[in-house]
Amino acid sequence: MKRTRLIEARKNAGLSLRQLAQQLGISKSLVVSIENCRCNPSWEVAQRLERFFGIPVGELLAVEPEQPASQGNRNQCLRGSSERPTR
Protein backbone atom coordinates (compact mmCIF):
# COMPACT_ATOMS: atom_id res chain seq x y z
CA MET A 1 0.00 0.00 0.00
CA LYS A 2 1.16 3.48 -0.78
CA ARG A 3 -0.03 6.99 -0.10
CA THR A 4 -0.29 7.91 -3.76
CA ARG A 5 -1.65 11.43 -3.21
CA LEU A 6 1.26 12.36 -0.96
CA ILE A 7 3.78 10.98 -3.45
CA GLU A 8 2.09 12.87 -6.30
CA ALA A 9 2.01 16.11 -4.30
CA ARG A 10 5.73 15.83 -3.53
CA LYS A 11 6.63 15.07 -7.14
CA ASN A 12 4.35 17.84 -8.49
CA ALA A 13 6.17 20.26 -6.20
CA GLY A 14 9.44 19.08 -7.77
CA LEU A 15 10.80 17.85 -4.45
CA SER A 16 13.01 14.89 -3.72
CA LEU A 17 12.44 12.84 -0.58
CA ARG A 18 15.37 14.63 1.05
CA GLN A 19 14.09 18.08 0.10
CA LEU A 20 10.63 17.40 1.52
CA ALA A 21 12.17 16.02 4.70
CA GLN A 22 14.24 19.20 5.09
CA GLN A 23 11.18 21.40 4.52
CA LEU A 24 9.24 19.50 7.19
CA GLY A 25 12.12 19.15 9.66
CA ILE A 26 12.04 15.34 9.65
CA SER A 27 14.30 12.59 8.34
CA LYS A 28 14.24 11.31 4.77
CA SER A 29 13.63 7.80 6.09
CA LEU A 30 10.51 8.99 7.89
CA VAL A 31 9.16 10.51 4.66
CA VAL A 32 9.79 7.18 2.89
CA SER A 33 8.08 5.27 5.70
CA ILE A 34 5.03 7.56 5.63
CA GLU A 35 4.74 7.39 1.82
CA ASN A 36 5.05 3.60 1.86
CA CYS A 37 2.56 3.21 4.70
CA ARG A 38 5.08 1.67 7.07
CA CYS A 39 4.18 4.24 9.72
CA ASN A 40 1.70 7.00 10.33
CA PRO A 41 2.94 10.52 10.96
CA SER A 42 2.48 12.16 14.31
CA TRP A 43 -0.29 14.74 14.49
CA GLU A 44 2.33 17.50 14.30
CA VAL A 45 3.96 16.09 11.15
CA ALA A 46 0.53 15.53 9.57
CA GLN A 47 -0.28 19.19 10.18
CA ARG A 48 3.04 20.26 8.65
CA LEU A 49 2.24 18.20 5.54
CA GLU A 50 -1.20 19.78 5.26
CA ARG A 51 0.16 23.32 5.61
CA PHE A 52 3.06 22.71 3.24
CA PHE A 53 1.01 21.25 0.37
CA GLY A 54 -2.28 23.06 1.07
CA ILE A 55 -4.10 19.74 0.77
CA PRO A 56 -6.25 18.30 3.58
CA VAL A 57 -4.31 15.69 5.51
CA GLY A 58 -7.09 13.15 4.99
CA GLU A 59 -6.46 13.32 1.25
CA LEU A 60 -2.67 13.32 1.55
CA LEU A 61 -2.61 10.29 3.82
CA ALA A 62 -5.27 8.24 2.03
CA VAL A 63 -3.94 4.79 1.19
CA GLU A 64 -4.10 3.22 -2.23
CA PRO A 65 -4.13 -0.57 -2.01
CA GLU A 66 -1.70 -2.55 -4.14
CA GLN A 67 -4.23 -5.37 -4.27
CA PRO A 68 -7.84 -5.26 -5.46
CA ALA A 69 -10.14 -3.57 -2.95
CA SER A 70 -12.24 -6.73 -2.76
CA GLN A 71 -9.40 -8.40 -0.84
CA GLY A 72 -9.74 -5.99 2.06
CA ASN A 73 -7.30 -3.59 3.73
CA ARG A 74 -8.59 -0.64 1.69
CA ASN A 75 -7.54 2.66 3.26
CA GLN A 76 -5.82 0.94 6.15
CA CYS A 77 -2.29 1.44 7.28
CA LEU A 78 -0.42 0.78 10.46
CA ARG A 79 -2.41 1.75 13.51
CA GLY A 80 -1.39 4.49 15.83
CA SER A 81 0.73 7.52 15.27
CA SER A 82 4.46 7.27 15.33
CA GLU A 83 7.46 9.15 14.08
CA ARG A 84 9.37 5.87 13.74
CA PRO A 85 8.42 2.82 11.71
CA THR A 86 7.27 -0.14 13.71
CA ARG A 87 8.25 -3.68 12.84
Fold of 4-68: 434 Repressor (Amino-terminal Domain) (1.10.260)
Q: Give the residue-averaged pLDDT of 29-36.
A: 97
- 5-27 burial: b if 16+ Cβ within 10 Å, else e: bbbebbeeeebebeebbeebebe
User: The whole model's pTM is what?
Assistant: 0.75
Q: Which residue has the higher pLDDT, 65 or 34?
A: 34
Helix (H, G, I), strand (E, B) or coil at 64: strand
Question: Is the per-residue pLDDT at 65 higher than 90?
Answer: no
